[in-house]
Amino acid sequence: MSRLPGFHKLSVAERRQQVIKACNLDSADDTALGDTNDAMASIADQLIENAIGTYPLPLGIATNMLVDGDAVLVPMVTEESSVVAAVCNGARQCHSSGGVFTTHHGQGMIGQIQIKGISNPHAAAVEIRKHEDEILDICNACDPRLVQLGGGYRGLKTRVLDGREPQLILHLIVDTLDAMGANSVNTMAEKLAPQIESWSGGKVGLKILSNLADERVVQATAIWSVEDLDGSKTGGSGMNGESVRDAMLAAAEFAQLDPYRATTHNKGIMNGVSAVVLATGNDTRAVEAGAHAFAARNGHYAPLTFWERNNDGALCGTIEMPMAVGIVGGATKIHPTAQLSLKMMNVNNARRLASIIAAVGLVQNFSALKALATEGIQRGHMSLHAKNIAIAAGAQGAQVDRVANKLIELGTIREDVAEDILKEL
Ligand code: MEV
């Protein structure tokens, strides 16, 4: 049943028909896969192989964000309840301190070239370095437009790995400007390979971008005053600002000390980061792989954020992570909603986009820590989740809110309870 010869050559509509037949789908299933004649279906067909339809996800707007002094409405694509609300709340609470401020460390993407079959890798590295002018020319000739715009080859790093036999690894550092840069960097690495073999006397193995983009790191910082943290005024946790701050610092320390907690801590950060990366048509897996590897760069897995109490007694948070995102090329360029996301944020360079994404990651982490350290995550999360449960139980239209409200009132957010409520309605 899974052998569908010539499937890739068919149109979206023809493929859809084959799958409907093979999987016994009905007309409701057909509708759920989207219209095969609309613009999204043809974009899907351009983007991937064997497209049979599209898969819509919610796109929400995070409000209240101030990044480097500029207000921005941030589009987020996520299936998880409370992710968008958490950013709105966290951003509101640091508004009075000016929002989030960012800096960038580097703008380089790394292309790796693996050289094997050399007994003296250090000497081979010296030989290669003698040809840096040629390396620059070969790399830059791969992408003249990038060079024209001010980007291109920036330098070379060499590393020696002690495996079964020594390996020399070259890192080409390339400023890919407003592109994520995978295509340019991979082309450069492949183009250089024959010369690298002749200069080093070795055999080139892999030639590929590294997603540990630690030459393209963004840092974001924000301050939450104790007044803004005060849960006793707002009817929130009932804790005063100092107690909230101290509980959050203890929660952050837990993540510093324990990789099990750090993983969840970083997962929460990525809830926000990946949602904006996805909304802008960027590569979520690239950013995620880079983030987690960066989190483990000192030999143990650690949180991507750092929290401290500043001299005024306020809570100060900082995030630092690689951010390989672009605003040109790939799905970013082709997908109309990705374009729209960039337009809503008024983003016209990759650095600004990276700043906004890092800011969202930090604010997301703030809200998670605050909820966890005070009233617990379930109260806010479950009240939003109640709607999902209501829908899963079969509620439709106005029933959704009525069932969800009843679930919240009962304090039991379970599908079987939702079914009972629905029957009563
Ligand atoms: C849930 O998606 C994310 C959290 O678990 C993050 C965290 O624990 O910091 C709430």
| Domain containing residue 293: CATH number | 3.90.770.10
* Rounded average pLDDT over 7-29: 97
Instruction: Decide: 314 and 246 in contact? Cβ < 8 Å.
Output: no
Distance from C-alpha of 97 to C-alpha of 231, rounded to nearest angstrom? 18
Q: Which domain holds residue 39?
A: 10-47
Please tell me the distance from the alpha carbon of residue 106 to that of residue 327, in angstroms, as a whole number.
17
What would the mean pLDDT of 357-372 be, rounded to a whole number? Answer: 98
- In degrees and rounded to multiples of 5, residue 366 shows phi and psi of -55, -50
Is 410 or 205 the better-scoring residue by pLDDT?
A: 205
To the query of whether residue 134 is one of the catalytic residues in this protein, the response is no
Catalytic annotation present for 242:
no
Question: Which domain CATH number covers 147?
Answer: 3.30.70.420
Question: Does 381 have pLDDT greater than 80?
Answer: no
What are 174-231's pLDDT values in tens digits? 999 999 999 999 999 999 999 999 999 999 999 999 999 999 999 999 999 999 999 8
Distance in Å, CA 364 to ligand 1 centroid: 9
> Is 283 a catalytic site residue?
yes
408 — pLDDT class (breaks 50, 70, 90): confident
Residue 172, classed as helix, strand or coil, is: strand
In a domain, 69, yes or no: yes
- Give the atom of ligand 1 at the shortest distance from the alpha carbon of 80: 2
Within a domain: 401: yes
Closest residue to atom 1 of ligand 1, CA basis: 268
258 in the same domain as 363:
yes
User: Is residue 203 annotated as part of the catalytic site, yes or no?
Assistant: no
The answer to whether residue 235 scores a pLDDT higher than 70 is: no
Residue nearest to atom 3 of ligand 1 (CA): 268
pTM: 0.92
Q: Indicate if 121 and 169 belong to the same structural domain.
A: yes
Residues flanking ligand 1, CB < 6 Å: 80, 264-265, 267-268, 271, 368, 372, 377
- Residues 158 and 342: their CA atoms lie apart, in Å, by 37
Mean pLDDT of the chain: 95
Q: Answer yes or no: do 100 and 34 share one domain.
A: no
Report pLDDT digits (tens) over 56-88.
999 999 999 999 999 999 999 999 999 999 999
**120, 29: one domain:** no
Residue with the nearest Cα to atom 10 of ligand 1?
368
